[in-house]
Amino acid sequence: MNLPFPALFVSHGSPMIALEPGDTGAFLSHLGRTLDRGWGRPTAVLAVSAHTTARTPVLLGGEQHEALYDFGGFPQALYALRYDAPGAPALARQLGERLQAPVLAQGGLDHGIWTALRYLYPEADVPVLALALTPTASPATLMELGAQLAGLQDQGVLVLATGSITHNLRLLMRTPSAGMAAGGQAGDQAAEMPESAAFRTWFAERSAARDWAALADYRTQAPHAALMHPTDEHLLPWYVAAGAGGKDTAPRRIFEGVTFGCLGMDAYAFGPQAMPLQEALVTSAAAGA
């Protein structure tokens, strides 16, 4: 029997990650291989994204999904990419009863989901169920929602939340072009803003300390919170994954990075399997696997 999966939060960044993987894309591929070796292939992925939202939790329980191009102004090659994955209607019905949430017989994966999944599971052979995020909900409420997902990991379900650990597109608008950061440096090479570094460090330290109260109150306690997140939605999926992992174990930052000097790309794992995953990632990286 496979081990239960840790719950995950990954930062998806720009849709261009699908064409230009950079360090984050390489990490996601490494993460997928590491999960396959140590935990096996999930029976399904339950995805929570900053870009699929509703006023209350809603499940997309269609038989099939395809990539949604919920963005504009990017190269045509990006719109030619596909990610056609099976849905998980039976899981949707089961979870709909548990959450008392409506199940829509439709599919479609926003770019926060499919750009991550095409690195984790490039063959698009794992069923996916999208759970709509309520962007007006508080972090504490979303942690409670995540707690209702606990136990799915024992069924072989991978809870995957996607957003960005920092996200302020107005800061990106200061760059000379979509592919370059201030000073003409490539996005992956641009020096990080001190405010971004301070926020990411605070979040990692409070996570390691299991300071759930501070994390839930990040907007008033974290340094530069309003600058790094003018609106909440890209950080809120983190709290769903944290709730699914439970409060008894500390979240583990399993990847850290920044693009364009201000767009944080950190990833976290939650639950009892978070530390084993972190250790497996380090071991496999050292072995070149």
User: pTM for the whole thing?
Assistant: 0.94
Q: Tell me how many degrees the CA angle 14-17-23 measures, rounded to the nearest 5.
A: 110
Q: How far apart are CA 76 and CA 183, in angstroms?
A: 27
Q: What is the mean pLDDT of residues 199-213?
A: 98
Closest CA to 276 of 153, 164, 162, 163: 153
pLDDT, one tens digit per residue, over 124-160 is 999 999 999 999 999 999 999 999 999 999 999 999 9
pLDDT digit string, tens, across residues 32-71: 999 999 999 999 999 999 999 999 999 999 999 999 999 9
Question: Is pLDDT of 239 > 60?
Answer: yes
Q: pLDDT at residue 189 above 70?
A: no
Percentage of the chain exceeding pLDDT 90: 87
pLDDT computed for residue 172 by the predictor: 76
Distance separating alpha carbons of residues 15 and 114, to the nearest angstrom = 10
How many Cα atoms sit within 13 Å of 185 on the Cβ side? 12
Interval 5-22: pLDDT, tens: 999 999 998 999 999 999
Cα–Cα distance, 172 to 181 (Å, whole number): 8
Which domains are present in the chain? 7-286 (3.40.830.10)
At 190 the pLDDT is 77
